[in-house]
Chain A
Amino acid sequence: MMRLSFKRPSILPGFWPSFGYSILYLSLIVLIPLSAIFLKTATGGWARFWEVITSRQVVASYQLSFGASLAAAVINAVFGFLVAWVLVRYQFPGKRLVDALVDLPFALPTAVAGIALTALYAENGWIGRILVHWGVRVAFTRLGVLVALVFIGLPFVVRSVQPVLQDVDREIEEAAASLGAGRWQVFSRVVFPLVRPALLTGFAMSFARALGEYGSVVFISGNMPMRTEITPLLIITKLEQYDYAGATAIAVVMLVASFLMLLAINLLHWHSRKYAEVR
């Protein structure tokens, strides 16, 4: 009786059809195609694989992708926290609109974001025109990559910090204040430690999303070899040259990086849930 030993008995119908269909569909759409990447690499030869993923152009792209994603995640952690704080704690006109607009980077197709940011930061654009007076160029430089990644990662931090901030018990703060703590002490010793796990989760999600981002970056970056080429773009470039093995090798490196990020995010989630229970 395999049925009884596999799942806990229930009188509800439909376990095997729904479970079976889910596994089949998951395998066909996700698991088998994803495994193709690893199998393709395994058959391509280790020497060739190593040569591709350590070539100068590819290493330069890792540096840009990791560096810009990290910088964008840091900027998002700071400003995302600020936006979440302002939305939870203060009243001001247009607050509901601002709250709704936080999700725009989730909803706006990345290609649209890409051309909009490029138009904005190009030398004749609304913002680029001003920056050029100070000699700052954003479009078609590494700074442009950073701008696109900040845009794409913004909602993650706000949306993970906001609910936690909302739940912070004001009575703890008042207790701290009545015991003589100043505003800054209350914030740094009481409020911030409560929000820190959520902030870290948001930071990690924003970083992970930035690593794989393609659409919003390719327009503003200008795609200059060794300078403004992100790693996902190199996969496309290799594919366009019919270098499937090369494209796959780079994809493996990226997949491993994103799985590690996924693991880190899950550990953070688990940690913060445990933290919440202890509390």
Chain B
Amino acid sequence: MSAGKGEPLLLRWTLIALALGFMSLFVVLPLAVVFAQAFEKGWATYWAAVSEPDALAAIRLTLLAAGIAVPLNLVFGLAAAWAIAKFQFPGRNLLVTLIDLPFAVSPVISGLIYVLMFGAQGWLGPWLDQHDIRIIFAVPGIVLATVFVTFPFVARELIPLMEAQGADEEEAALVLGAGSWQLFFRITLPNIKWSLLYGVILCTARAMGEFGAVSVVSGHIRGETNTMPLHVEILYNEYNFAAAFAVASLLAILALVTLVLKRLLEGKIRQDSGYVVAAVEGSEV
């Protein structure tokens, strides 16, 4: 910052104060109130709330849904990024736009579409009913809704990076006699590992925190189809505030861990892409 050319000190500190005021009001205080309310009635109440059977069932279901949705979207993200970034074909841009579609859709609609497909009045409803398969108001529906809302996360991190990296290294490896999987594990994967992890972390956070879409397909059966966010809602609507905030605080801790990991990885990714940029610039000289 070149001295003397910036704003007057008074203006500068007024702007800083305004920005910090806004941030405290809208970000810091909501976060603080979660923990304050969670521990308002002490550790014993807190512990009871997060360790009762329904809460544990909700935690298990949340982990299960994320545990299925994240690997599925990880494999898809790798496949889509490989096809889109390493090859030229017509409709690439359209494909990228379609992959981002779930981010443009309201969470409520993300749930609704599966109700229309698999619900009792849905397209496949009668057939599923005959074969005694339940998707809506059951665990498969929750998993599907979670897959939908977290669909783009991995792909959208990988596509721009792999496009920037190009195919030179892979082509060189092939010429030197590498097999397909060798190529992937020894060349491509090491080049994208931090961005891949970044996408997976964002995907996991969203998968575990999703509320609207899951709420539509869940049916809110306690101990069976309640994820952690839904469990928070039920407790809150029963005016069991301390317990609601106790479970919510677990999700808030998850959010904070996500932010820390995100920060750490952003540093790593900047180093990697800096290396890519330097390599590209070097080759042009």
Contacts and interface: CB of A to CB of B under 8 A. Distances in A.
B29 A127 contact: yes
A83 interface: yes
Given A82-B22, A104-B31, A219-B236, A15 B87 contact: yes
Contacts of A113: 30
Contact of B90 (A6, A34, A100, A219): A6
A248 B211 contact: no
A47 to B, nearest CB: 20
B140 interface: no
Nearest to A178: B5
A166 interface: no
Given A15-B87, A116-B34, A120-B29, A110 B211 contact: yes
Given A10-B86, A117-B30, A208-B104, A244 B252 contact: no
Given A22-B76, A91-B1, A119-B37, A235 B112 contact: yes
B130 to A, nearest CB: 20
B215 to A, nearest CB: 7
B87 A109 contact: no
Nearest to B217: A239
B23 A14 contact: no
Contact of B121 (A116, A212, A244, A258): A244
A18 B79 contact: yes
A11 B178 CA distance: 12
Interface size grouping (class) on chain A: 35 or more
Interface size grouping (class) on chain B: 35 or more
Contact of A259 (B104, B210, B211): B104
B29 A26 contact: no
Interface in A105-140: 105, 107-113, 115-117, 119-120, 125-127
A165 interface: no
Interface in B184-219: 205, 208-212, 215-216
A127 B115 CA distance: 39
A107 B251 CA distance: 9
A103 to B, nearest CB: 6
B30 A248 contact: no
Given A21-B79, A22-B80, A110 B27 contact: no
Most buried by B among A32, A79, A102: A79
A7 B87 contact: yes
Contact of B212 (A103, A104, A170, A232): A232
Interface in B102-121: 102, 104-109, 112-117, 119, 121
